[in-house]
Amino acid sequence: MALLAGAAGCGSPSYQYVTNKKDGAFLKVPAGWTHQEMPGPALFGIDARNVSPEMLRTLMSREWVVGLDASEKFDETSLFVPDAALPKGFVQVRHLLPEEARSVSTNDLRNFVVTVDDAVAAQEEAVRRDPYGARLAPSFLLLRDESVSRDSGVHGVHLIYQVATAAGLVTIDQTSLLDQNQTVLYQLVLACSALCYAQHGVQISEVTGSFTIKPTDRGQKA
């Protein structure tokens, strides 16, 4: 279902492609990164719930997930840890269940990984109660919040935010998109420690900027 290919050029390639041609998802990552197709599903957001074995099989049949790891050795057990020293995450394509497709909205995309709207409200309340302390040590910071509009009606959001955890600050770069008919979810999520993001933010931005969606007939009819 997926094609993973290196970029052509003189000498060693500087990047490689992670692609799902059947659903029209394309991503370019540095050659030094590792990646692996996961058995799925990635239980985040709309999937973050207790599911029966039957439902799990249904979700697996509707989802493609590739784990991304800037480490030399791929480690599927630590793809989304807050204190990661190097960027980690996943790229995902999922055909929404009919009931989800009927109810999903663009605004819902904001909360598919972290409940961003609730976190923003909680931080604002904390600032109201303790203006100095809450600003000095925020529990949540929304660094970027932008709408995305692409060709063929693809639309969604791109968010960058920081979350305070017991292990320290984690920075999450999240792109969540829907096709024109809002039946297919395309998502790219990368995360690591705030220090890691400061060091590798340009590289992460290049990966995020390469995330290209070209919806196919399969996606439109799913």
Residue pLDDT, tens place only, 95-144: 988 888 888 888 889 988 888 999 999 999 999 999 999 999 999 999 99
**What is residue 166's predicted lDDT score, i.e. its pLDDT?**
85
Beta-bridged to residue 157, according to DSSP, are 147, 176
Enclosing H/E stretch for 191: strand 184-193
The dihedrals phi and psi of 43, each to the nearest 5 degrees, come to -85, 75
Q: How many CB atoms lie within 10 A of CB 103?
A: 11
Q: Is 42 exposed, middle or buried (0-12, 13-18, 19+ CB in 10 A)?
A: buried
Tell me the pTM: 0.84
